[in-house]
Amino acid sequence: ESPLIIAIDGPSGSGKSSVSKAVASRLGVGYLDTGAMYRALTWWCLDQGVDLADEAAVVAAAQTLPLELSTDPDDQRVGVGGSDVTVDIRTTEISSQVSRVATNTGVRPILQQAQRDRMAAIATATGGVVAEGRDITTVVAPDALVRILLTASEEARLRRRSAEVHGTADEEAMAATRDQVLRRDRDDSSVSQFTVAADGVVTVDTSDLGFDESVEAVLAVVASRV
C-alpha cells in the first residue's frame, strides 16, 4: 500500500498549521512543519552570530543545522543543538527575519532536500505524512497523493493572526498585525507562488469556515483521492 502523502501550502493566517496538525492527528500519520525548519535555521544563525546578509555563511549554517523536530502532530517540539526552541522560533523577531533566510537561493535546495528525506522517513514510520509550507505542493513534493492550497481572504487571515498573536482582533491589534503579515507575504512572494493553486492542486478556502469545518473540508479532499 502506498503511503498517504499529503502536501498543504498556504499563506500565514490561512489556518494551515493548526488544520494540518489536526488532519495528521485524525489520520494517525506524522506531521512536518517546514516553516519551523526555516525558523529554526534563522534562530540558529542569530544565536551563532551569523550575519543574515552573508549568504554563504547562512548556507554553511543550513548544511550543518543540528535540528531535532518531533513528528507527532499532537506534540510539536523543535530543538536546535540541544536547546528547546519551540517557543523562541515564534517570536516577532524571528518572524520578521525568516524571509531573509528563506529567500537565500543557496539555502532553499538544502532545506527542500532535507524535507523530502524527512517526509519519506515519517511516511515509512507512520504510513503517511502531512507536510505543510509554501512550496510543498509545487517543489518539495509535486507527486504527493493529495495536494491542497489552504487560502483565506486577507480580512480573515488578519483576524486570525491578530487573535493568535495579540489575543484579540480589536482595531489596534488588527493594525499591528496588518503591517507584519502583509510585509511577510510580500517578502515571501519570491519564495514561491503560494496564493494561487498550481495545476492539480485543490484549493480549500477557509474564509467562512470555522476550525472544525476547515479540518473536515481537508479530510473530504483526502477522502476523494484515496
Q: Which is nearer to ligand C5P, 193 or 207 (CB)?
A: 193
The Cα 77–Cα 74 span in angstroms is 10
Element at 121 (helix H, strand E):
helix 107-126
Distance set, CA 9 to CA 44, 93, 156, 215 (Å): 25, 23, 17, 14
- Does 134 contact ligand C5P by CB under 6 A? yes
Q: Which three cell numbers stand for residue 133?
A: 509550507
Site string for ligand C5P, 66-105 (x = CB under 6 A): --------------------------------xx--x---
Which one, 159 or 184, has the nearer CB to ligand C5P? Answer: 184
Query: Measured in whole angstroms, how far is the alpha carbon of residue 152 from the centre of its chain?
Result: 15
Q: What is the largest CA-CA distance in the chain?
A: 52
Beta pairing, strands 78-80 & 67-69: antiparallel
16 is in an annotated binding site: yes
Q: Is 142 a binder of ligand C5P (CB under 6 A)?
A: no
Q: Is 61 in the site for ligand C5P (CB under 6 A)?
A: no
**Least distance to ligand C5P from the beta carbon of 133, Å?**
2
**Known binder of ligand: residue 13?**
yes
| Distance from C-alpha of 76 to C-alpha of 31, rounded to nearest angstrom | 9
Query: Would you count residue 157 as binding ligand C5P (CB under 6 A)?
Result: no
Which positions make up the binding site for ATP?
10-18
Q: Which chain residues interact with ligand C5P by CB under 6 A? A: 12, 34-35, 38-39, 98-99, 102, 133-136, 184, 188, 191
